[in-house]
Structure 1
Amino acid sequence: MATKIVFLDRETFPADIKLKSISHQNEIISYDHTSPEQVVERIADADIVITNKVKITQDILKQARKLRFIAVAATGTDVIDLFACKEKGIPVSNIRNYAINTVPEHTFALILALRRSIIAYHESVRAGRWQEANQFCYFDYPIKNLANSTLGLIGDGVLGKAVAEVAKAFGMKVLFSAYKGVPNMGPLYTPFEDVLKHSDIISIHCPLTDSTRNMIDEAEFNQMKSTALLINTARGGIVNEEALCDALINKVIAGAAFDVTKNEPPKPDDVIMKLTNLSNFILTPHISWASFEAIQSLADMLMDNIEAFLSGTPQNVVNP
């Protein structure tokens, strides 16, 4: 009998990304999008569910009587009730190490754009400022080198370490932050508060958990340099967006660039959308992971995870 596999949000992959076949007899049903109200019906008789951003809650699991395995098409698993899955004996696998190039590259694209005011200068050229200046250049926005500056990294996983290597190539000093509230994690780590205090640029590369939610709030912004930049390519919710808004408008910090938001997509009246009018804020639509090479690698690993489960040797399990 064929294994029924349901992909709840196939459109989170571009159309040109291919899902490779697996050796076990199966039937894959793909939905472009799935609303919360549609989840129960769509996975009612599924053996395996693939989800990227569709939430699988305890109530949903109670009604998915045939479900044997969940394959998350991402690294983050905050959309899954992992405890409830473990109670029901449903392993959950995620994707690992696929974005080792794309996320660091996007991180530094954002850093360089802010550090050299690239977007602000581009917009001013479009508005006619160069002609108005009547000379070969003008200096309306700050430009600073990366060399000899300090990069504070919150998150020391594969991505954080890859960002550190790029930073060193630019001649930057790198500080890895200890966990917030944990002053001494050994010589490789700098206390969280010291990272905030001494970094010229702070870049976030940790997961969203109960302990990291709103980890950067008003008190943390007040500890940063007034010239500091904050970069978040990790998860929305790690930074309090209201506090971010206040920090930028009141010039507590010099700028920020985010690839993630608390609500995705953000609502038109969400506070973070107000910041898009500022010259020192950049918002991209959660695409730091999305190079073609990275997504195809992710898709291949996704199917490998399913193949491994069906072969009796599940891999990349997050709730053993």
Structure 2
Amino acid sequence: MRVPLPRPQTANEWIEYAYTGAGEVIDRVREAQVLLVNKCRITAEVMDQAPGLKMIQLMATGMDNVDQVAARERGIVVRNVVNYGPDAVAEHAMACVLQLTRRVPEWQGLVNAGQWSKSRFFCMHDFPMRSLKSMTLGVLGNGAIGDHVAQFARAFGMAVIRVERRDATEVRPGYVAFQEALARCDVLSLHCPLNDQTRGLMGAAEFAAMKPGAILVNTARGALVQFDALKASLDSGHLGGAAIDVLEIEPPPADHPMLTWSHPRCIVTPHIAWATLEAQANLASIAMRQVEEFMRGVSQ
């Protein structure tokens, strides 16, 4: 994080590490009573080596890096931070939609290559562009981020549909069935959690069912998308574009298929949709308020 963490007012001994590798976790948590952590894995083994541990405060919304069953069995409170920056993620999603519909990276590439200077005319028409007012956005995931994306999209004049879960036995009022939505959406934005039902959600069959020229945006979890299928759909020209802010392994290995392959209609960013300075400050504030409340409760 690029913003400082506030300190709790309750008396404490504060120890901070800028980075902790997997092999350093146990040694660094042995004496901890309250642990602030983001992506480090906190397993039952780690907890057993920290007998005084009473609280784990995640500096994130996702909780999959902590063994929550083991924590409950040991009486350890686990808290996360929710809704600290839904507008930040939604802004990023819409920025990517605008880049892909107005072809911003491709125009910039032509300019950098000197093509504008060589043109006989004042402007260029190499890439067709679309107005958002003519497009339909599908939002899969009904949390605060999805709500903000829908709000921003409507401000641009887009039609917005709520997409029902793929495995739903019935369609909720106000929602559109998953397969129908794939065929209708010009843009599909993913905001659903990663679980057994959503892992690999978007694969070859789903991309084939999407409207020709449609755009996929994923700012949720990397493993929602099957990347080989995404690449094939973009290479074939069926998909009109994709914006990926998350991968299933982070940081990814240098030979990850989304890093070794480059496509002018695919934007890959390093899990930064959430990371405006305002959202980081809000995350820190909420997390420390929760820690403070816990510490006061324990000390009373």
Q: Same fold (TM over 0.5)?
A: yes
- State the shift of 1:227 in Å: 0.7
- Where does residue 5 of structure 1 map in the other structure? none
**Aligned partner of 1:302 among 283, 287, 292:** 287
- Where does residue 72 of structure 2 map in the other structure? 86
Amino acid at match of 1:308: E
Would the aligned equivalents of 2:29 and 2:35 in 1 still touch at CA under 8 Å? yes
Secondary structure (helix, strand or coil) at the match of 1:175 reads strand
Length-normalised TM-score, structure 2: 0.95
Gapped regions of structure 1 (runs ≥ 5) = 1-12, 314-320
Amino acid at match of 1:101: D
Secondary structure (helix, strand or coil) at the match of 1:151 reads strand
Question: Are residues 142 and 88 of structure 1, via their aligned partners in 2, closer, same or farther at CA, if it must alter by over 3 Å?
Answer: farther
1:212 pairs with 2:209: no
- State the shift of 1:136 in Å: 1.0
Percent identity of equivalent pairs: 38
Structure 1: 4+ residue segments shifted above 3 A = none
1:309-320 paired onto structure 2 within 5 Å? 309-312=294-297
- Where does residue 127 of structure 2 map in the other structure? 141
Would the aligned equivalents of 2:188 and 2:216 in 1 still touch at CA under 8 Å? yes
Q: Cα deviations across residues 195-222 of structure 1 (Å, max 9, x unaligned)?
A: 2121000001122222221111111111
Would the aligned equivalents of 2:218 and 2:245 in 1 still touch at CA under 8 Å? yes
1:37-186 paired onto structure 2 within 5 Å? 37-186=23-172
Length-normalised TM-score, structure 1: 0.90
Counterpart CA distance in 2 for 1:161 and 1:304 is 25
Q: Cα deviations across residues 172-194 of structure 1 (Å, max 9, x unaligned)?
A: 11111111210424212111111
- Where does residue 285 of structure 1 map in the other structure? 270
Counterpart CA distance in 1 for 2:177 and 2:73 is 37
Would the aligned equivalents of 1:196 and 1:224 in 2 still touch at CA under 8 Å? yes
Please report the RMSD computed on the Cα atoms of aligned residues, expressed in angstroms: 1.4
- State the shift of 1:151 in Å: 0.4
Amino acid at match of 1:301: I
* Number of positions where the alignment pairs a residue of Structure 1 with one of Structure 2: 298
Would the aligned equivalents of 1:183 and 1:191 in 2 still touch at CA under 8 Å? no
Counterpart CA distance in 2 for 1:154 and 1:215 is 11
1:201 pairs with 2:187: yes
- State the shift of 1:21 in Å: 2.4
Amino acid at match of 1:126: N
Secondary structure (helix, strand or coil) at the match of 2:249 reads coil
Would the aligned equivalents of 1:208 and 1:238 in 2 still touch at CA under 8 Å? yes
Amino acid at match of 1:119: P
- Where does residue 317 of structure 1 map in the other structure? none
Counterpart CA distance in 2 for 1:217 and 1:59 is 36
Q: Cα deviations across residues 202-259 of structure 1 (Å, max 9, x unaligned)?
A: 0011222222211111111111112100001111111112221222122231110111
Would the aligned equivalents of 1:22 and 1:303 in 2 still touch at CA under 8 Å? yes
Counterpart CA distance in 2 for 1:158 and 1:287 is 18
Counterpart CA distance in 2 for 1:245 and 1:80 is 32
- State the shift of 1:72 in Å: 0.5
Q: Cα deviations across residues 10-43 of structure 1 (Å, max 9, x unaligned)?
A: xxx11xx122222211112111111111111110
Gapped regions of structure 2 (runs ≥ 5) = none
Question: Are residues 46 and 177 of structure 1, via their aligned partners in 2, closer, same or farther at CA, if it must alter by over 3 Å?
Answer: same
- State the shift of 1:86 in Å: 1.7
Counterpart CA distance in 2 for 1:217 and 1:87 is 38
Counterpart CA distance in 1 for 2:141 and 2:217 is 12
Counterpart CA distance in 2 for 1:43 and 1:252 is 50
1:232 pairs with 2:212: no
Secondary structure (helix, strand or coil) at the match of 2:232 reads helix
**23-32 or 286-295, which deviates more:** 23-32
- State the shift of 1:98 in Å: 1.2
Counterpart CA distance in 2 for 1:102 and 1:111 is 14
Counterpart CA distance in 1 for 2:171 and 2:41 is 34
